[in-house]
Amino acid sequence: MTQTTINWSECPELESIPGKVSGTRVPVSAILKNLEDLSIDEVVQEYPSIKREQVRKVLDFVARSADPIFPYFYARLAG
């Protein structure tokens, strides 16, 4: 599998502080790591400062930026 580099500076849901979801102190890495075991709704419960729509937008950005496996992963999570 080819590794894709994601340009996070192009994601509108992130602040100028690298890797933080806008309006929060939550790192994108925490969202992505938690989605290994939790649903989007469960992640939002774990991090009340983020909204479901923010998680979906971050996942959408990842899906559009990464290789073809991610749209499937995103669709499964967002379902």
pTM over 0.75: no
Answer whether residue 9 is part of any domain: no
- Which domain covers residue 67, as residue numbers? 14-78
Reduced to 3 states, what is the DSSP secondary structure of residue 2?
Answer: coil
The DSSP secondary structure of 17-77, one letter per residue, reads STTBBTTS--BHHHHHHHTTTS-HHHHHHH-TTS-HHHHHHHHHHHHHHS-THHHHHHHHH
How many distinct structural domains can be found in the chain? Answer: 1
Answer whether residue 7 is part of any domain: no
Answer whether residue 28 is part of any domain: yes
Reduced to 3 states, what is the DSSP secondary structure of residue 14?
Answer: strand
The predicted-structure confidence for 12-26, as pLDDT tens digits, reads as follows: 666 656 678 888 889
Please give the mean pLDDT across all residues of the chain: 78
Answer whether residue 57 is part of any domain: yes
Answer whether residue 73 is part of any domain: yes
How far is 34 from 74, CA to CA, in rounded Å?
A: 14
pLDDT in tens, the chain (79 residues): 556 666 766 766 666 566 788 888 899 889 989 999 999 999 999 999 999 999 998 888 877 776 666 556 656 666 5
